[in-house]
Chain A
Amino acid sequence: MTASRAAVPQAGRIAPVELTIAGQACLLDHSGVLVLPDAGTLVVADLHLEKGSSLARRGSLLPPYDTGATLARLAEVVAHYRPARVVALGDSFHDRGGPERLAELDRAALRRLTGGCDWTWVVGNHDPVLPPAIGGEVVEEVAIGSLVLRHHPAAGPVRELAGHLHPVARVVMHGRGVRARAFLTDGGRCVLPAFGAYAGGLNACDAAFAPLFPAGFTAHVLGRSRIFALSRGVLCGD
């Protein structure tokens, strides 16, 4: 893995971290998206749109603003990078009925996004099928250069960008704990943090991550003011 270094800061925005994964230049953005500048591609994982309404069906009437909030944040980071292509790494909707339940305003916001550039939906376990009306192409996985972009991390030492696991890092020091979303990478593979407003997190120390990173990983943790690079050894389980 190459040493991370901060990109040139821009006014009002927290600088992304530049690093190389499987030989390709990557920007880890503070919003939680990953940008492949050479391919002009922005990658976002686990949007979980309509999670609020999904839970509402089961009696938890959570604020119905999560889809709007997630799309607004996504629109903002897309407007900043102006990618030629966006790849959503699966679990873009919380359930199969999600696309139908979209409120009109959110549907329009999503249409603006998918119409603004090439849009690729990678399917996930929450959204194994997506209706054509949603716009963009729907694929199982997609290769970009040396990397495969898929929802569920594959077994073995592969070079990939994946989602599904919602990594969060937890640090405890002096009797205080911090928990924040994180990118996990060993230089060959990267698991992206979940982007959705209501997407929870799985602790990076969970056993699910161990087989993916047999030689350990660096967690790029989304702090308040910048991204912090933490070694596996300083992280704590829940």
Chain B
Amino acid sequence: MARPLRRLPEPFAAWFAARGWAPRAHQLDLLAKAQAGRSVLLVAPTGAGKTLAGFLPSLVELAGAERSANGRAVAQRGLHTLYISPLKALAVDVARNLETPVREMDLAITVETRTGDTPPHKRKRQVERPPDILMTTPEQLALLLASRSAADLFGGLRRVVLDELHALVTSKRGDLLSLGLARLQALAPGLATIGLSATVREPDALRRYLVPQGEKGSGGLSDLVIVEGGAAPDIRLLTLPRDLPLAGHMGSLMLPAIYDLIREHKTTLVFTNTRFQAEYTFQELWRMNEETLPIAIHHGSLDVEQRRRVEAAMTAGKLKAVVCTATLDLGIDWGDVDLVINLGAPKGASRIMQRIGRANHRMDEPSKAYLAPTNRFEILECTAALDAVEAAAQDTPDPRRGGLDVLAQHVLGMACADPFAMEALYEEVRSAAPYADLTWEDFEQVVDFVATGGYALRAYERFAKILRGTDGLWRVRDGRVAQQYRLNAGTIVGGTMLKVRLVRQMRGKPGAVVPRGRVLGEVEEGFCEMMVAGDSFVFAGEVLRFETIFEDSVLVTRAAAADDPSIPSYAGSKFPLSTFLAERVRGLLAEPAEWDRLPMGAGPWLRHQQQRSLIPAPGELLVETFPREKRFYLVAYAFEGRLAHQTLGMLLTRRLERARLRPLGFVANDYGIAAWCLRDIGAHAAENPAFLDDLFGEDMLGDDLETWLDESAMMKRTFRDCAVIAGLIDRRHPGERKTGRQVTISTDLVYDVLRRHQPDHLLLRAARADAATGLLDVRRLGQMLGRIRGRIRHKPLDRVSPLAISLILEIGRERVFGEAADEILGEAEAMLIEEATA
């Protein structure tokens, strides 16, 4: 067992002292463990000096080696430490922070970054003459490992530092990284890891991730160093002396109060849940910014240079506030932030804690933060989140089971590096925690998929991408396949991005634009597909008019000043309400004694609901039915998050259709769903007492789900992502889009054919596994249906209830779901008839 060190070795002790710092206990503890060759997980709240702690062991080792080597050329040492971060910007940022101690202690240690932006000559040199410490991303690591030089490059690697591990392990990038780690362990036996993580609910899952699993594993868990959270955060609800609206997410009422807070503080971060909300907030704050305070906007879609400018201004302390999205969630050091405001629903207790950690990167002082709800449901959610923070409760998601699509990509990469034996690679893969339970059969199927597509109809033997030689080893077929791998590596698919280009109208030619102009940033292709020329939207702090898509760009012009954006700015939060927080919201709802402490009209709203309808007991599902404007509504308050509700809505609509109630559409938010029909649902339920129980029956997840998945656009998107990651179809690179009808093939067509002819195909299995937890959240829906079985409280009403108003008002604001493809065509056809009869 490593004993904690009392003090740092020189020159580190002197350097710390010169800065007036004392090494923290966890830094010494981690150093001692690492020096004893252990892999360690460091769990610490933001501001605890986590990153420096992670590098200390490597710096100390390298500094020592430098002296003992006595002048030998440092460059010949080989790669010592690899640092992996989920964000390119974070890698660059940390490299910069590391330069200071290296320079000030005059250490002959080389630190470099390697990202997608690194120029080719530098990449080449980095492989030939590697630095001591290389900072990179999971994707770049995968590419390095898939090259023939991997064994040479990583053979002497001593340590891997994984930053923001809690964020990585919940995604496919975490799967890919775990496989890369397994390969590194094979190339450099004795390699130690250090994981840096924010506070998580289940640290053991991360400890497993850091060390090889299975028989060859070293006991299955890394060591653990926990830094107990410093000062308790000073976090409050931002309240106004008036009632909040029943629906809406933009929080306009809150903005004057937010502006005042910005004025009173040194630097404020205003977090929003979506890019759109960030844009809106930024615009509105400027509209009231009579003092012209320097307020900036920062989100992942903005042009890189603009983001860099904001980051630099921030570091230099020149900004009063930054309105931002989750791109700033990860641990970039932003200097002297003294206030964090979270506008909108917090969605999860751990998420909000991590955001608040952005303020005051000094853990001994309390972080100051406000939660600013934008509607009455969000008052409940914010209050529940505050209670959770008070109780220091965590609701970080469980780590994933490794995706088979990611594994397929890795297998091809490994074949590109060196010929592999199936048994050995199987053992290696299973040493990665997300794949510890992988069966031999599944692994065989993955290898078969990589080789020939894994089809029951053995049509592609002669086109195999990897081949088994007479020596039993699998090799990549030729250089072209390796090239194809390199172009498609990585697990981030997320829709093609289009550049937003500000252009001008051609003079004298209305509607025509010059396809050249300044790039403002990028948006997902899917966002533009929903627009027609003339639609306007907010982006980069301006109202823009959509003109057309040209090559890899969306061409936009400045909209007239008076124009309100016509495309709804609220596209829903990326993250659904966490299960944990949902439970707390339901608890709060069911406890009338608690309502008195709810501000801004939430208490009276719930009492009103109690009088007019009812408040469900914990564990019950309240279903209201009522008529409104010639439609009949069904509203169910399931509190299971937006994604699960969307799936529920899709399936309910099918069942309402079968009951001949003629459903027209539905709307879902984090708290419930509302569906509307042409026929009277309430009357139908009165005549058929078992109707609602049947409607919400768990068998919904059987045939109905299967049939719906056939058609579901979200399922098709999930499948497309899997197909790209697994290498079935090539990734579309910017500038290559729409090259012609023959060259690209729609994955929707592939999905249809595969589903019909080989429904148990590996990729469909991968897509279904993703759907269960991802966009469709089927697992959570299943848990809900089980929980409420026999506990549905039906309340027939003659008019809309106070809670229901909040949902109904989402109609028109939120996208209305339904599979009404034919309705849209029918409506378009009616326009032709109107034209003909006009």
Contacts and interface: CB of A to CB of B under 8 A. Distances in A.
Interface of A: 51-53, 55-57, 59-66, 68-69, 103, 126, 166, 171-178, 180, 197-202, 218, 221, 223-226, 228-231, 233-234, 236-238
Contact of B728 (A57, A61, A173, A234): A61
14 contacts: A53-B459, A59-B480, A64-B457, A65-B757, A66-B753, A69-B756, A69-B757, A166-B741, A173-B828, A178-B825, A200-B741, A218-B832, A228-B829, A230-B832
Nearest to B480: A59
Given A69-B757, A200-B745, A64 B460 contact: yes
Most chain B CB neighbours (cut-off 10 Å) among A62, A103, A223:
A62
A153 to B, nearest CB: 15
Nearest to A225: B822
Given A62-B453, A68-B757, A200-B745, 13 more contacts: A56-B453, A56-B459, A62-B729, A63-B754, A63-B758, A69-B753, A69-B757, A175-B568, A175-B815, A177-B529, A197-B752, A223-B826, A231-B831
Interface in B771-789: none
Contacts of B480: 59
Contacts of B741: 166, 199-202
A172 B530 contact: yes
Given A200-B741, A200-B746, A231-B835, A63 B532 contact: no
B560 interface: no
Those 8 A-B pairs whose CB atoms lie nearest each other, nearest first: A61-B453, A64-B459, A65-B757, A228-B825, A231-B832, A200-B741, A234-B828, A63-B754
B688 interface: no
Interface string B749-761: 1101110111001
Contacts of A63: 453, 455, 750, 753-754, 757-758, 761
A127 to B, nearest CB: 13
Most buried by B among A52, A65, A172, A197: A65
A200 B753 contact: no
A166 B742 CA distance: 10
A62 B463 contact: no
A174 B825 contact: no
A233 B729 CA distance: 35
A238 to B, nearest CB: 7
Given A65-B754, A236-B532, A56 B463 contact: yes
B822 A53 contact: no
B616 to A, nearest CB: 32
Nearest to A232: B832
Interface string B452-490: 110101011001010000000000000011001000000
B82 interface: no
B822 A65 contact: no
Given A69-B756, A69-B757, A166-B741, A61 B460 contact: yes
A60 B729 contact: yes
Contacts of B391: none
Contacts of B761: 63
Contacts of A56: 453, 459-460, 463
Contacts of A178: 821, 824-825
Nearest to A168: B741
B374 to A, nearest CB: 21
A221 B825 CA distance: 8
Residue picked from B738, B828, B829, most chain A C-beta under 10 Å? B828
B730 A238 contact: no
Nearest to B738: A238
Contacts of B825: 171, 178, 180, 221, 223, 228, 230
Nearest to B528: A238
B744 A200 contact: yes
Contacts of B455: 61, 63-65
A233 B567 CA distance: 21
Interface string B826-838: 1111011001000
B328 interface: no
Given A63-B455, A175-B815, A233 B530 contact: no
A103 B530 contact: no
B685 interface: no
B548 interface: yes
A53 B530 contact: no
B728 to A, nearest CB: 7
Contacts of B757: 63, 65, 68-69
B32 interface: no
B831 A234 contact: yes
B390 to A, nearest CB: 40
B816 interface: yes
A202 B835 CA distance: 26
Contacts of A176: 530, 815, 820, 824
Contacts of B750: 62-63, 198
A90 B56 CA distance: 69
Given A60-B728, A63-B455, A197-B749, A228 B463 contact: no
Contacts of A173: 824, 827-828
Nearest to B747: A62
B828 to A, nearest CB: 4
B821 A65 contact: no
B722 interface: no
Contact of A62 (B728, B815, B816, B820): B728
Contact of B460 (A53, A66, A180, A197): A53
Contacts of B484: 59
B749 A198 contact: yes
A223 B820 CA distance: 10
B635 interface: no
B831 to A, nearest CB: 5
Given A53-B459, A55-B745, A176-B815, A198 B753 contact: yes
Interface in B100-158: none
B177 interface: no
Contact of A175 (B463, B567, B822): B567
B549 interface: yes
Contacts of A200: 741-742, 744-746, 749
B831 A224 contact: no
Contacts of B829: 228-230
Contacts of A223: 821-822, 825-826
Contacts of A199: 741, 749
Nearest to A172: B532
A137 to B, nearest CB: 26
B649 to A, nearest CB: 15
B12 to A, nearest CB: 52
A174 B821 contact: no
A98 to B, nearest CB: 13
A186 to B, nearest CB: 14
Contacts of A177: 529-530
B741 to A, nearest CB: 4
B426 to A, nearest CB: 22
Contacts of B459: 52-53, 56, 64, 103
A229 B827 CA distance: 11
A173 to B, nearest CB: 5
B683 to A, nearest CB: 27
A166 B745 CA distance: 13
A228 B832 CA distance: 10
Nearest to A218: B832
Contacts of A57: 463
A61 B745 CA distance: 12
A65 B459 CA distance: 9
B460 to A, nearest CB: 5
A177 B530 CA distance: 6
B826 A228 contact: yes
Contacts of A53: 459-460, 463
A54 B758 CA distance: 20
Contacts of B529: 172, 177, 238
Contacts of A218: 832
